[in-house]
Amino acid sequence: MASRSLHPLVAQARAFANQVLRPRAGEFDAAYAVPADVISAMAEQGFLASMLPVEYGGAGLDALSYGQLTAEIGKGCNSARALLTVHTSLVGETLARLGSPDQKLTWLPRLARGESIACFALTEPETGSNASAIKTTYQPVTDGYLLQGRKKWITYGAIADLFLVFATCAGEMSAFLVERGNPGLSTHRITGLLASRGAHLAEIELDNVTVPADALVGRLGAGFSFVANAALFYGRYSIAWAGVAVAEAALEEMVSYARRREQFGKKLRMHQLVQALIADAVAGVHSGRALCEKVAALRDAGDDEAINEANIAKYVTSRLAVKISADAVQVLGANGISERYPVERLYRESKVLEIIEGSTQIQQMLIAEFGIRRYRAPATLRPAGTPPSKESI
């Protein structure tokens, strides 16, 4: 699968990451912001339009090319990559699939050009993994809906122009497009973070925000089963590649350091136990990338198995990112905990990948349910005399 021809944007993303993002990623982390000039440059390069339909100004990338592009940007700066996940995947791809014709015509060209930045507002102060329990509400009013509630940990929420907001009414969740200029909407930047410091995280307050009837995305009551689940599939695919990105960046830092650093009279790369860490990291990066490439092929083929495989890939690569970045810190020793070396930041960034777009524990539940349905020994292998199973799966 890796031999397939990739879109030229992937090579552009690699050059942009090496020339612009990687040298400045520590700066963005310290400043708690990917700056406006970098976001504008990402839009000008076409990265924000990458997965959006051509008819709306997008590049119409295939899934593999988009995944590889995401990984290249993620290797350069995880906070810059996060913009692709929320703006292009969670909101852009969701609108392209589920938005009304007017919503697509109004918003997708603006998102493709980077004229408007979009964010995904599902998580709340008291509700994370259990998204069906959100407390933000909506009420039908004349010519629209009234929204009331709070959202938290919203990536790029501090600077977003468009919010895809999820709210409930009488136990049913619906999704709405809310513009920053709506009276009653305010954002509050979040600082003091372990990771994603440059990704403009914010808390969103919706104080009697009125939106027009055509702000509804999809059908009333279909916000969770239809809109959120579709968006989270796109997001998990993006995060799976983010895990590959952080893991590979950590591997590169580990190997580069081991090639030049000497201990006990020889280069670190010559010590067997360091070689073992490098071997594990290489195998991990290759296996994680192969999983993501499989999901890409399934997505492009329109195969529903892509959903389960995306859950598996996100679960595996996020854990690999944590392990490989931790091993990179170990190889660098005391230098590994210094902000002068990128592995300190990569180690912090890796952990957030196990939390966002469905935590590791949520993925374990989903994967276990899939495994229980899919894998069991054939009946011919039952011990002689064992009656047929009455289990219901």
With beta carbons less than 8 A apart as the criterion, state whether 122 and 228 touch. Answer: yes
Cβ contacts of 12-17, under 8 Å, gap ≥ 24: 12/45, 12/46, 12/47, 13/45, 13/47, 13/68, 13/69, 13/72, 13/73, 14/72, 16/41, 16/42, 16/45, 16/47, 16/72, 16/73, 16/76, 17/72, 17/73, 17/75, 17/76, 17/77
Angle CA(118)–CA(77)–CA(360) in degrees, nearest 5? 75
Rounded Cα–Cα distance for residues 152 and 354 (Å): 18
Secondary element (H or E) of residue 141: strand 137-141
How far out from the chain centre does Cα 120 lie? 11
Q: Which of 203, 354, 357, 391 is catalytic?
A: 357
Nearest Cα residue to 243 out of 327, 350, 162: 350
Cβ atoms within 10 A of the Cβ of 220, count? 14
Rounded Cα–Cα distance for residues 293 and 308 (Å): 14
Rounded Cα–Cα distance for residues 331 and 39 (Å): 33
Structure tokens at 106: 């109004």
Nearest Cα residue to 240 out of 288, 187, 301, 169: 288
Rounded Cα–Cα distance for residues 376 and 390 (Å): 14
Question: Has 357 been annotated as catalytic?
Answer: yes
Q: Does the CA dihedral 306-309-313-315 come out positive or negative?
A: positive
State the greatest distance between any 2 C-alpha atoms of the chain, in Å, as a whole number: 78
Q: Which segments of 183-304 does DSSP mark as H helices, in order?
A: 229-260, 272-300
With beta carbons less than 8 A apart as the criterion, state whether 176 and 217 touch. Answer: yes
β 172-179/137-141 pair status? unpaired
Nearest Cα residue to 348 out of 194, 243, 245: 194
Catalytic sites, residue numbers: 357
